[in-house]
A and B are shown apart, each in its own frame.
Chain A
Amino acid sequence: MSSLCLQRLQEERKKWRKDHPFGFYAKPCKKADGSMNLQKWEAGIPGKDGTLWKDGVYPVTIEYPDDYPSKPPKVKFPAGFYHPNIYPSGTVCLSILNEDQDWRPAITLKQIALGIQDLLNSPNPDSPAQEPAWRAFSKNKKEYERIVIEQAKEYTK
């Protein structure tokens, strides 16, 4: 890991601990020896109140590449997570996480977390990443809503 990457991740950790939106959590994973792995974080994204997602806190892993912040982190939900813009592997398809699109080195963990929370209830049907959720969202809203509510129960707050 480059010193720039390390420095920035330490900064992100400090910032997050000092100021993060309510209901979210994010922390670096521990290595087997108990030391901290700053390049891999586990985080939780709560569904926004007043939405289908409100009852859950959805776990994600955030992996920072060696050349972060030049390159964006990779954010993954559990495999099979039901959402039109989440790939079957769990990888999030979001423009701010794509280096060819809107990623900028100044984007913070807080912005990423809030961006993902926003994505949960505002999927982008023009950028489908998985078939079942995309199809249901586009063609059968009732079914989509039912599965989202069921999924929220699996990740109850």
Chain B
Amino acid sequence: MNDLQQAVHLIESLYLPQPPSNVNEIQQQLQAVQRSDHGLELGNQLLSQEMGSPNIEYFGALTLAVQFHTTNSTEILAELLKLNMLHLSQRARLHITNGRQNGSPMLVIKKLMSNAAQIFFRVNSADALNGPHAVLEWNNPLETFCTLVSHPALSPDSANEVFAHVLSEKISYDHLISLINSSPDFNALALLFSEVIMEDLKKHQSSKVGISRLHGVVHDHLYISSTSIINYNLQQIALAFHNNPRERAPFADSVFQCAIAWVNYTIMARSKSQGHMDLSEMFEILIQLMCLHDSANHFPFSENVIAILGEVFANDPTMLSYELRSNVEGIFLGVHKSSDNGADSHQWMLQYMNHLVVDEMYEELKELALCVVDFLQISNLDVCNKLFTTVSNGNAGNLDQYIKVLLQMTNFTLTPVLEEFFSVRMVDFWLDLCDGYNNLVRDTFKPETPELAAHLFGQVVQIYLPKIQLSIKQKIVQEGEDETLLHEFDDFRNAVLDLMESMWAVLGNEKLTNILISSIGQLTPSSGDDLFQIEAMCFCLDKLLTDMTLSGSPVVCGTLEANQGFLTNVLLLIQTGCQQKGASNGKEAQILSCDFVKTGSSMLATAADFIKSDSHRLRSCMDVLFGSLETCANADAADSKIELSLTRCTTKMCETSRAELASYLPTFLTIQKAMMHRSSKVSAYTKQKFTCCVGYLIQDCLRDGPARQAEYLSRVIGTIRNEILECISDRDHVLCLLHCVSELGGALAVPTEGADDQYAAQLVQSNEYWVADPPQLRATTLDLLERVLAQYASDSEFVERACLIMGSQLAATEEGPHFLGYSMQELLDFLLKRNGACEPAVALPYLSYLLELVVRRYASSLAPSDLDYLFGEFFLGSHRAAVASDPDLTQLMINFVSSVLETRPGLIVHGERWPTFILPEFVHALGVKERFTIAAVTKFWTKVVNNKRFSRADEVAVRAQVCELGPQLVAHTLQALLHAQRSDLACYSDFLRALVARYPLQSRQWLEQALPELAAHQLRAHQVLMEKLFVTRGSRAATNAVLEWWLACNGLPPLAGATAA
């Protein structure tokens, strides 16, 4: 395509309201030209079109950018620089002369400015010093721009001549100011150009490294001219305000945008460049502008300046000198923490805040809060030292006043989150101050420090408690705000919890925990507000008590005891939540109900240790929990959430208060029975956990002898059995009921703690009882499982659940009497029966799990021939083909053998299967590809060569077998290793390390024999591997040696710093 008109036509067609159908083809065609050798010419021509449309002009500027990104030639770069700057300055001149109406659109000018910035970066990058662009020197695009725009003789004919001098031309300050003063549009364009360069430089920084030279050039040239323009303009804004306070200078926005671009760049560049870019003069004028306001409380620049200062304080507060920060301190707080200087300008702050509050400008108020609190945090450590230590002596009066202002700021009168953010952000300040205090060396304290700290943080507690009340959440919902504010409020509450935790270290139980308890206890709620207070205090108290062992805190328990109203009020939270949770009460009520129940139930669970010490108290709690659970029917999300909270709390109460709740067992049983019905609306989770609760209480009946346990257990199992048999075709319901049985089995495990003499005395008797099992519970349960499995044998979830139930006692941490304590024979019969009828892929993993438990528990009762039999039945026999073809089942088999090697290796190594099947097959299994199977088989072989559980006889037998198998074993391992994935190498190297350590002489021979056969051309790599394997001891070193060998043999580059193999 060499016809310009054709190109123009195609470009215009791209921008038609309805582009042609071959738009993709056109784009590809144009892109090809943009990237070609004709691109530069095309770009220039498009930008030179006298009556070119904005689309054509923009496409021209874009074409220059494409050329810039595709070229690596100095000549083209120099040409691009010239053309781009000439087109830019021509358009700028037109813009200045004719105004916006007749000139190019700003979009085109900005694109040309951005092109110029990119060229400037490349010319001054470190690579350019030694690269092809070294001949180009261009230090200050802004001055070049000003020179070209103001050049009297710039025309297409004189362009080359003018440009030859202009790159290195410098402009004096006075001349620069006179140029921007010559026209407001000139001034605006100069500011815009400076801003565009800074914005692009920030983006450039994130993708490039080693641009410190560029920062140096910016510091030495562009910084000087840009800050001159910015500062001059800021002064002019102030001057214009003094002349006419009612009219905002039209160029103000451009100046602020340019200033913030420079501030952001300086924040980023300060840590990366050597030159110090001081913006103090700019900040000084900005602060003056911030405080300007007229008699009608009109603050024209405050918001702009606060945005800039906010950036500085959040990112690099040291950009402001100490004097300037001190000035700001006076303005923001009206008091200096370390000097008596007056702070008259604070009046501005008060008026500005008042203006924002009165006019409900909450976003602006939030910006101010962010800025002020970020500023305060700069000197947090200083405040901490001055307040609490003798290290730093401040003026006590000023400091008191300073803290008073901070407390007032925290106690801002508006609604947190919704209207004000001072209290929200001040959490961070107080948290830092508190952590600072907790970290101070006690020797440096002033005598009055502990009292002062307690007084100060006590006030902070009092300020925050009302601010985190759910009444605020209610207000947010009522206002119909989006969920973001609700989330922000929840975050605020959680942040206050962290603060409470830190303040507890200062205030202790006496001044925080106990006060919260008594405050909750002393309230007699007569309104919603009282409930909100109770909830907020409970919310905090729960956090403080969570990490405390109540039984070891008699003072806290005493306080709880003394405040009878405490528990009543906590229960009221749950009751109120449950009463209000209905959908008919609206979304607001549902949200608050969930919070009320969550806080209340969590508080109860945390205080369970205290609650159980009094039967009346415990009864009140359980009555409320039962009553509340009764109201739940999984009607909606809120209802389900509340049910979950209540169930968790009930479970915790039952686990903690097994003995104390004994009298409740009949009630529990009745409720549990009702829950087991298919018609019950409670969730499956609640059914299971409630059965677990019943189990906890029955477990404790052991004190009264096993017969009582048996009586209750028979009832529970009977209920479940009847229900299952009645609804056997309802899969989910039956599965849920099986879950209930396994929860019951889990809860019946003997607890590790809490055994007293009476309890211990019953253990032996109980053991005997359950071995005999007079009520036939084992048989009943087994029969139930068989009946269920008769229908669901091919459903893995049922097989899994059945195996878990059968193994309930075997899986318990502590051995002890258990109604599901099946004998070895019973378990094996069950397993063999299931095995005979199972689909291996579905059931074998669970059967194998149970079989492992059986072998582990009854290892001493088994003989090698028994294990041979079991191994044959489960992994060979009818399942042989399935096990051999499915790597997961192969792995299952290997894991089973490994578990026997870890339990009683003699059982397997002296069996017939060991030499005839296991050893030869597992050698072949070394070549598997699946990660977990590799891990299993290498672990097996590691256990074979190095097993501390081997008896002397085991060791002798295995040693002879390994010596015989050695060459084959090593050859297979190396073969598998060579073709393994890099991430699997560690498995093989662990085995090799063990082999080399245990069989040093033999393994050297085996390796020497196997390695050359594997990769004959890598002799050096083999030699290095051998040398390293035989001297390394650690796992990591062995893995590295193997990795180096693997890299070399696979033709991959060696590790950095590794010896070339």
Taking beta carbons and an 8 Å cutoff, which residues of A are in contact with B?
14, 17-18, 20, 22-23, 25, 27, 34-36, 127-128, 131, 134-135, 139-140, 143, 146, 153, 156
Contacts and interface: CB of A to CB of B under 8 A. Distances in A.
Interface in B423-473: 428, 431, 435, 438-439
A22 B797 contact: no
Contact of B487 (A23, A135, A156): A23
B487 A143 contact: no
Contacts of A131: 932
B965 interface: no
B726 interface: no
Nearest to A136: B796
Contacts of A128: 931-932
B724 to A, nearest CB: 19
Contact of A36 (B439, B494, B644, B983): B439
B498 interface: yes
Contacts of B431: 17
A156 B491 CA distance: 17
A134 B931 CA distance: 11
B796 A153 contact: no
Given A27-B498, A140-B796, A156 B439 contact: no
Contacts of B932: 128, 131, 134-135
Contacts of B488: 22
Given A134-B932, A140-B796, A153 B491 contact: no
A14 B374 CA distance: 10
23 contacts: A17-B428, A17-B431, A18-B314, A22-B488, A22-B490, A22-B491, A23-B490, A25-B494, A27-B498, A34-B438, A35-B435, A36-B435, A127-B983, A128-B932, A131-B932, A134-B932, A135-B932, A140-B796, A143-B796, A143-B797, A146-B797, A153-B644, A156-B648
A35 B491 contact: no
B487 A22 contact: yes
A153 B685 contact: yes
Nearest to B206: A106
A18 B428 contact: yes
B980 interface: no
Interface residues of B, number: 26
Interface in B488-537: 488, 490-491, 494-495, 498, 505
- Nearest 9 pairs between A and B by C-beta? A22-B487, A34-B505, A131-B932, A35-B439, A34-B438, A17-B428, A153-B685, A36-B435, A128-B931
Nearest to B982: A100
Given A127-B983, A131-B932, 10 more contacts: A22-B487, A23-B487, A27-B498, A34-B505, A35-B435, A36-B435, A135-B932, A146-B797, A156-B644, A156-B648
B160 to A, nearest CB: 45
A153 B932 CA distance: 28
B852 interface: no
Contacts of A140: 796
Task: Summarize B's interface: helix, strand, loop or mixed.
Answer: helix
Nearest to B494: A25
A7 B925 CA distance: 51
Contacts of A20: 491
A127 B495 CA distance: 36
B888 interface: yes
Interface string B605-649: 000000000000000000000000000000000000000110010
Nearest to B498: A27
Nearest to A15: B314
Contacts of B931: 128
Contacts of A25: 494
Nearest to A17: B428
A19 to B, nearest CB: 10
A135 B435 contact: no
Contacts of B505: 34
A53 B1060 CA distance: 48
Contacts of A22: 484, 487-488, 490-491
A23 B931 CA distance: 35
Nearest to A25: B494
A156 B439 CA distance: 34
Interface string B413-429: 00000000000000010
Contacts of B888: 135, 139
Among A34, A35, A135, A139, max chain B CB count under 10 A is at A34
A141 B521 CA distance: 50
A34 B434 CA distance: 11
A22 to B, nearest CB: 4
A93 B890 CA distance: 26
A17 B495 contact: yes
B984 to A, nearest CB: 11
A100 B377 CA distance: 37
Contacts of A34: 438, 505
